[in-house]
Amino acid sequence: MSASVEYKRVAKEHITHLANNMRDLDREEINLSHGGDLESLLTDSVVKSSMVATVFINGELGCILGVCPADDTPLCDTGIPWLIGTEVLTNNVRAFITEQDKVFGDMFRQYNKLVNYVWHKNKHSIVFLKHCGFTFYDPVPYGISGALFHRFEMTK
């Protein structure tokens, strides 16, 4: 039986649940790139996003994802996609991968290019992003820690 995937409007309790239950590699990546309180950082990302959703897989919170404009100008055509997941996503990634065209299609209706960075040790995220078709670059120092991160991008 295939897993059911459902998108919902992000609620405060989703953010709290995710901050307390995110995958260890996502937690470490956020600490290396931004530092600070995870719930506050998630809330800020949700507020800044032009498209954002909580994804439930078989009724359990799998992730919150979104895309933020790369700058504040009205002509911005570059979005910064982000996704923070729980083990529910890791354990059901195939069900979510079947949704990738919908997710990135929604993002590409707003932006011509998607760009972000991923910590070089976050192997689950790297495999997923490569499967989605993102181009990767050699790791460079990034974020408050200067840890190595890969830039990844995709153009419409």
Phi and psi of 139, rounded to 5°? -65, 145
For residue 79, the one-letter residue type is G
3-state secondary structure the chain: CCCCEEEECCCHHHHHHHHHHECHHHHHHHHHHCCCCHHHHHHHHHHHCCEEEEEEECCEEEEEEEEEECCCCCCCCEEEEEEEEEHHHHHCHHHHHCCHHHHHHHHHCCCCEEEEEEECCCHHHHHHHHHHCCEECCCEEECCCCEEEEEEEEEC
**Measured distance CA(60)–CA(47) in Å, rounded:** 23
All structural domains of the chain, each given as residue ranges with its CATH number in brackets, are 5-113 (3.40.630)
pLDDT digits (tens, 9 = 90+) for 48-58: 999 999 999 99
Q: What is the pLDDT of residue 61?
A: 98
Is the model's pLDDT at 1 over the cut of 80?
Answer: no
Q: What is the pLDDT of residue 76?
A: 86
